[in-house]
Every structure is written in C-alpha cells, then in structure tokens.
C-alpha cells in the first residue's frame, strides 16, 4: 500500500486556507480516499490552549516562549501523523512550520533560531501557498480579531513566506473565486496522490 500524502496549505490570515482545506478533504473523501484534516495550531491540546489564550490576548508570553509552544504543538502531533501516513491515510494540513517561522521572524526573531525547533518534523509532499495581498485580506470578515492580524505584520509575514518558499511550492492566487481555487488545488492534489499510487505499484513489481 502507498504511504499517504501530506498536503499542506499555507498563507497569511484570511487567505481562505480553512475553507480550501475543508473542500479538499470533502472532495477526496467523495472520491473514496482515506483522508484527514490536521490544523495548526491545534488548539484542543494543553499546549494548544495556551496558544489560544495568547492569540486571543487573554495571556501574554515572550516571543520566544510562544514560538516554542507553536513548535511543540506540531511535535506532539507528529507520531499520530506519521502513523496515519503509514496506514495510507492522506493528510490535508492547515498551516505548519512555515507559518511558525514566518510569523515569529516577522516579529523580529532571528530566522535561523526560528527554524531550529521544527527541524526533523515530517516533510509535506505538496505545499500550496494561498497568496493574498494584505490590502485584500484586511477587507475580509474577521480580520483584526486575533493577535497578528495587523496590516504591517501581515505584510512582513507575506514577504517572509515568499523568502521561505521552495521550488516545489504551488502558488495559488487567493483573489480567485473559492471554486476556481478549489479546482486548481484538487487537480494538483489528485496528481500527487496518483503519483504515489504508481510508485507503490512499480515497487510491488520489483519485489
């Protein structure tokens, strides 16, 4: 059986990641694939509750401390994610280490220092970056509700995402309609999943 694929969606706040993740999961399920949604921060754990308190301004934390909590929130999910992938379950993931680095570095923390705690996390097979100009994000409902949802910071974050992006990233114009974005994302994800199945079959032939 082929290992599940790790499909990541990244972007600034209000770019539409959560909507697209939900649509992708639903579409893959409808096609009969085993797929699960993961979201970071995962606010339900003990660490996640601390992160939530920080993001909603109920609690103050040093920039370094919150950075490490975001990373720990990924590490505490790692074994379960690896197990799922091994079982052939595809994971659609809403934010990951790139958000971790981009937001903390945008606040002024050293880039290399920011990257270090996430070293060794399982790598995404496919990363979509939903790119939205900050001027557009600001107009969207809910912008400004949480810490970090401020124009100047979001612009720095967006700039850092562009610096961090790998050659393999798929850039999605988040000004496009929800449906148009979904079609692009679904098609690319299906190609990736198909590639994995073909690899698994050729592997079997060689055994």
Q: Which is nearer to ligand NYM, 46 or 202 (CB)?
A: 46
The span from the CA of 10 to the CA of 18, in Å, is: 10
CA distance 40 to 93: 8
Interacting residue with ligand NYM among 121, 148, 170, 196 (CB under 6 A) = 148
C-alpha 8/C-alpha 129 separation (Å) is: 8
Residue 143 phi, psi (nearest 5): -60, 130
Structure token pair of residue 206: 């060689």
Judge contact between 165 and 129, C-beta under 8 A.
Answer: yes
Nearer to Mg ion, 10 or 13 (CB): 13
Residues lying near Mg ion in the complex (CB under 5 A) are found at 13
By the rule CB under 6 A, 169 interacts with ligand NYM:
no
Give the number of residues in contact with ligand NYM, rule: CB under 6 A: 11
Residues of this chain, 16-45, that bind ligand NYM according to CB under 6 A? 40-41
**Distance from C-alpha of 75 to C-alpha of 207, rounded to nearest angstrom:** 34
Give the one residue of 70, 129, 161, 169 binding ligand NYM; rule: CB under 6 A.
70
Q: Select 106 or 193, whichever has its Cβ closest to ligand NYM.
A: 106
Under 8 Å between Cβ of 189 and 28: yes
75's contact among Mg ion, ligand NYM, none, with CB below 5 to 8 A by partner kind, is none
Q: Which residues form the interface with ligand NYM (CB under 6 A)?
A: 13, 40-41, 55, 70, 95, 99-100, 103, 146, 148
């Amino acid at each position: 059986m082929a290992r599940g694929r790790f499909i990541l969606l990244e972007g600034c706040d209000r770019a539409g990641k959560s909507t697209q993740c939900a649509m992708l999961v639903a579409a893959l399920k409808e096609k009969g694939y085993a797929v699960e949604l993961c979201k970071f921060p995962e606010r339900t754990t003990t660490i996640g509750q601390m992160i939530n308190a920080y993001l909603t301004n109920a609690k103050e934390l040093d920039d370094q401390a919150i950075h490490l909590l975001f990373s720990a929130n990924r590490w505490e999910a790692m074994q379960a994610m690896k197990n799922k992938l091994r079982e052939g379950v595809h994971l659609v993931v809403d934010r990951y280490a790139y958000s971790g680095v981009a937001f903390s570095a945008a606040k002024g923390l050293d880039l290399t220092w920011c990257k270090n705690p996430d070293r060794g996390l399982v790598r995404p097979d496919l990363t979509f970056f939903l790119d939205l100009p900050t001027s557009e994000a600001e107009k969207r409902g809910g912008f400004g509700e949480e810490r970090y949802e401020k124009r100047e910071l979001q612009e720095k974050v967006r700039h850092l995402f562009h610096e961090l992006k790998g050659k393999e990233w798929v850039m999605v114009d988040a000004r496009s309609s929800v449906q148009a974005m979904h079609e692009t994302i679904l098609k690319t994800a299906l190609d990736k999943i198909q590639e994995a199945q073909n690899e698994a079959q050729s592997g079997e032939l060689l055994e």
